[in-house]
């Protein structure tokens, strides 16, 4: 294939999710903070952005992987020219304003539209998507900063396209953020000096913007241990004076760039604070509330990774499908003994069809989960915003769904990209096709922003057990209501029956887990991932069954688009038949769970 363009979007399914299934034209657009965006505007903006991603962002995908980053002696990282070029065009076109609220000069798009755009950007070239984090961090400083901090940073970050990072991890404190040792010493007012070394900092330095703003967790002198002793600081690469002008070089430097398996043009940096000269920072909001403040950023990052994985699977599937439609190999299985039978395209082979539909059903399912969650975020803002009493239940639903999106999408996509590669036969292992790079670029998704098991522990302990299962039970009630409404009629009877069985199995699984936890928390260690996968597959099954009912109805109204709607229903039927039974298998595995492995001596491993 040509290396000029690998990316295949699925704008038709994005439109279906937004405007047919979720109906955001009626349920979000034109209201509250989204008053200035209607459905036609949203459609046109997404269509223009899809074209931009295919034509301007996607072509650098291969070159960015094969052009090494450089780090000079002053801690400056130079990007491949293709990445710089894409960033220039991104900002020139004003597409960074998708995620900026209207009050800060942005488009005023709801999260559902913003995340749909993000899917296309990160699917076209994930490293480019990572470098535009500054616009989002501007909204965090606008939300949490003091008046002076907002005046110094927010407008600059949006209008001058400054970079932004989240700085948590340390060499001796990976996922255990509470073990961080970076120190903060108070100087005066909200000014502090930071000392320490941070590691695995995504895009800690790069040469595109004139300034980079780091949000850093550090422990003030005298603060207690653990996460509660951490505070969050704004630490810019170049100091920002009170009038917003740039000052001298600040004492934070990139001291190493990691060499990685994938997303190679994303500079994963070791950052050293206060070694060459003081690294000054501002205490965010002038309050010591670091971990809670940083979770605004962490949750955005986890959502982004869930969407990144789904986008990778979607374009991988569409590439594999097109290859299978062209590649001629072997005869039809029904004529396998006929030596002179005509050769057929591989999409005519049953196993290839199985692999393709497995990818399609999951890509549709992951997108349905991501955009449903994004629409929950629409509703949070319409109800008064994050933390408001009116949005309390929606906030809890958002919190429940986040580890599903991040954990399930990243873990399942890595498995399914192997299926995608298999559709090519030996050609998939070559760099002639994009799937081998998809695999290398995507594997990180199961690891950073909290590994899959960290997502599982978060789901079980914080999102289910902490509120007595209230939010999960409310979601189960919604699923039950869909079953009782019999949407789709007789045409979806088998799919509703499969969903009903999965829901019963999930409820039994959760009951068993609650009993086993009283014996030992090790049961959560052994079964937590299985619990997350079972919850995710049940919720996705529900969303897909609802979408199938919409597709059947819309096909009757719009027969010219029958292939899309029939393809949607075919994917849902496949998912309900082939994937939903996994929940029953998970239930039986949880019921049989034992702690025997904990007593196996280390010498036997």
Which residue, among 207, 249, 214, has the nearest Cα to 233 in the 3D structure? 214
CB under 8 A, 24+ apart: contacts of 45-49: 45/98, 45/107, 45/109, 45/113, 45/117, 46/11, 46/14, 46/15, 46/113, 46/116, 46/117, 46/120, 47/11, 49/95, 49/98, 49/117, 49/120, 49/121
Catalytic residue check, 242: no
Residue 564: φ, ψ to 5°? -65, -50
Q: Is 120 left (phi over 0), alpha (psi -120 to 50) or beta?
A: alpha
- Any residues with CB less than 8 A from the CB of 171 and at least 6 apart, and which? 197, 199, 270
Helix pair angle (290-326, 435-442), 10° resolution: 160
- Any residues with CB less than 8 A from the CB of 40 and at least 6 apart, and which? none
Give a three-class secondary structure readout of 546-591: HHHHHHHHHHHHCHHHHHHHHHHHHHHHHHHHHCCHHHHHHHHHHH
- List, in sequence order, every residue forming a beta bridge with 165; answer none if it has no partner: 214
Three-state secondary structure call for residue 108: coil
Which residue, among 291, 102, 77, has the nearest Cα to 202 in the 3D structure? 77
Kindly tell me the sign of the dihedral angle through the C-alpha atoms of 98, 247, 295, 188: negative
Tokens for 311?
Answer: 């986008």
* Cα–Cα distance for residue pair 254/270, rounded to 1 Å: 6
Among 50, 99, 119, 449, the one annotated catalytic: 449
* Cα–Cα distance for residue pair 194/186, rounded to 1 Å: 9
Q: What is the DSSP letter of 351?
A: H
* Cα–Cα distance for residue pair 310/443, rounded to 1 Å: 12
Cα–Cα–Cα angle for 169, 411, 418, rounded to 5 degrees:
125
- Compute, in degrees rounded to 10, the torsion defined by CA atoms 168, 171, 172, 175: 40
User: 69, 79 in Cβ contact below 8 A?
Assistant: yes
User: 427, 412 in Cβ contact below 8 A?
Assistant: no
Q: How far is CA 177 from CA 181, 305, 425, in A?
A: 9, 19, 43
As annotated, the active-site residues are 449
């Amino acid at each position: 294939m040509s290396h000029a363009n690998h990316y295949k979007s699925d704008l038709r399914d994005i439109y279906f999710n937004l405007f047919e299934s979720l109906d955001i034209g009626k349920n979000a657009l034109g209201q509250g903070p989204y008053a200035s965006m209607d459905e036609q505007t949203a459609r046109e903006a997404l269509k223009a952005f899809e074209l931009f991603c295919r034509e301007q962002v996607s072509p650098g995908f291969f070159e960015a992987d094969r052009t090494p980053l450089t780090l000079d002696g002053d801690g400056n990282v130079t990007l491949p020219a293709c990445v710089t070029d894409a960033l220039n065009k991104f900002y020139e076109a004003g597409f960074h304003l998708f995620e900026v609220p209207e009050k800060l000069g942005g488009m005023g798009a709801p999260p559902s539209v913003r995340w749909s755009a993000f899917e296309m950007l990160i699917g076209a070239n994930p490293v480019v998507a990572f470098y535009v984090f500054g616009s989002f961090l501007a909204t965090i400083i606008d939300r949490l900063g003091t008046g002076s901090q907002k005046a110094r940073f927010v407008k600059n970050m949006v209008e001058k396209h400054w970079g932004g990072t989240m700085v948590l991890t340390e060499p001796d404190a990976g996922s255990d953020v509470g073990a961080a040792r970076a120190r903060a010493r108070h100087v005066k007012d909200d000014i502090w000096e930071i000392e320490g070394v941070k590691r695995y900092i995504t895009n800690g330095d790069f040469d595109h913007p004139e300034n980079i703003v780091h949000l850093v967790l550090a422990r003030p002198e005298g603060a207690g241990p653990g996460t509660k002793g951490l505070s969050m600081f704004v630490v810019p690469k170049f100091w920002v004076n009170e009038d917003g002008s740039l000052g001298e070089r600040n004492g934070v430097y990139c001291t190493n760039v990691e060499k990685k398996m994938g997303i190679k043009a994303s500079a994963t940096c070791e950052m050293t604070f206060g070694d060459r000269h003081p690294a000054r920072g501002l205490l965010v909001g002038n309050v010591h509330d670091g971990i809670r403040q940083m979770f605004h950023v962490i949750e955005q990052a986890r959502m982004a990774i869930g969407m990144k994985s789904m986008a990778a699977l979607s374009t991988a599937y569409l590439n594999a499908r097109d290859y299978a439609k062209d590649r001629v190999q072997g005869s039809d299985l029904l004529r396998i003994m006929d030596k002179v039978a005509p050769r057929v395209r591989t999409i005519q082979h049953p196993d290839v069809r199985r692999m393709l539909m497995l990818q399609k059903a999951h890509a549709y399912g992951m997108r349905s989960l991501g955009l449903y969650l994004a629409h929950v975020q629409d509703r949070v803002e319409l109800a008064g915003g994050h933390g408001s009493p009116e949005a309390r239940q929606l906030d809890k639903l958002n919190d429940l769904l986040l580890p599903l999106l991040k954990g399930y999408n990243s873990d399942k996509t890595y498995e399914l990209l192997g299926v995608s590669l298999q559709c090519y036969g030996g050609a998939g292992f070559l760099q002639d096709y994009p799937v081998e790079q998809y695999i290398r670029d995507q594997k990180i998704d199961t690891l950073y922003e909290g590994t899959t098991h960290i997502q599982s522990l978060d789901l079980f302990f914080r999102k289910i057990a902490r509120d007595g299962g209230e939010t999960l039970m409310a979601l189960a009630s919604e699923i039950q209501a869909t079953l009782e409404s019999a949407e789709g009629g007789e045409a979806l009877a088998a799919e509703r029956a499969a969903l009903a069985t999965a829901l019963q199995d999930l409820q039994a699984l959760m009951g068993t887990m609650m009993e086993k936890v009283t014996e030992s928390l090790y049961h959560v260690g052994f079964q937590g991932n299985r619990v997350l996968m079972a919850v995710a597959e049940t919720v996705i099954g529900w969303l897909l069954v609802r979408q199938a009912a919409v597709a059947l109805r819309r096909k009757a109204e719009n027969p010219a688009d029958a292939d899309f709607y029939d393809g949607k229903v075919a994917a849902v039927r496949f998912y309900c038949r082939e994937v939903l039974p996994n929940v029953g298998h998970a239930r039986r595995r949880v019921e049989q769970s034992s702690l025997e492995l904990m007593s196996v001596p280390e010498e036997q491993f």
